[in-house]
Structures are given as structure tokens and as C-alpha cells.
Amino acid sequence: MDVTSPSSQTLFDCGDVITSPLVAELVEANELDLQGFLARHARGDWGDIGTELCLANHAAVHKKGYVLSFFPISEALILVLCTELDRGETTAMLIAPQDPRLWSRSDSI
């Protein structure tokens, strides 16, 4: 089996799905098909990731590690899915890699 190709079958259970407020808002407005992305994630389609993370995900599926997916949903936003070690939860959040606020350091606490 080519570990860099998605399976036609579910490889693991995503467990309970925890969403960030923005993900929940987009799902509620029918602007994000979260169930579709979760299905892809569980089948080994981990979106826009490199070979190294793909191989790490494949190993994680079989050795109960964290499984990560990155799905670009627009030019500015990436949907990140992270399934926990015990498969009890998958967290869905959005990141904006071009937003400097995500990467700049804040010294205020």
C-alpha cells in the first residue's frame, strides 16, 4: 500500500469533534462542510501536507499517535484537524498563516 495515498475505507474513528468558535460559525452558516473534511481525515487524506508528515500520520494511525490534517479552505485560511492519541477527540480549528498576528511575539500578558 502506498502510504501517501488516501484509503477508500476509514482508518480510524475521529471521536468527539471539538470546534473553534469560527469553525462552528462557518458550519452553522453552511459555509464549511466539516463532516466532509473529517471523513477525508479519517480515510488518510490529510490535505496539504508534506511527505514527512504523511508518513508520520500513517505511523500514528497504526501506533496510536496524533493525526494531523491541513486543508486550505480559502487563500487565507487553513482548516486544521488534530485527532488525539486515544482517538477520543478531534479538534477542528482555522489558522491564517499569512496573518502576522499569528506569528509575531506579544510581550504583554
pLDDT digits (tens, 9 = 90+) for 85-102: 999 999 999 998 776 554
Instruction: Classify residue 20: in a domain, yes or no.
Output: yes
Neighbours of 32 (CB within 10 A): 22
Instruction: Classify residue 68: in a domain, yes or no.
Output: yes
Instruction: Say if residues 41 and 83 touch (Cβ distance below 8 Å).
Output: yes
- H/E stretch holding 95 reads strand 89-95
Q: What is the distance between the alpha carbons of residues 12 and 107, in angstroms, rounded to a whole number?
A: 40
Read off the pTM: 0.84
pLDDT digits (tens, 9 = 90+) for 14-46: 999 999 999 999 999 999 999 999 999 999 999
Instruction: Classify residue 21: in a domain, yes or no.
Output: yes
Domain count, the chain: 1
Instruction: Classify residue 10: in a domain, yes or no.
Output: no
Q: Which domain holds residue 71?
A: 16-102
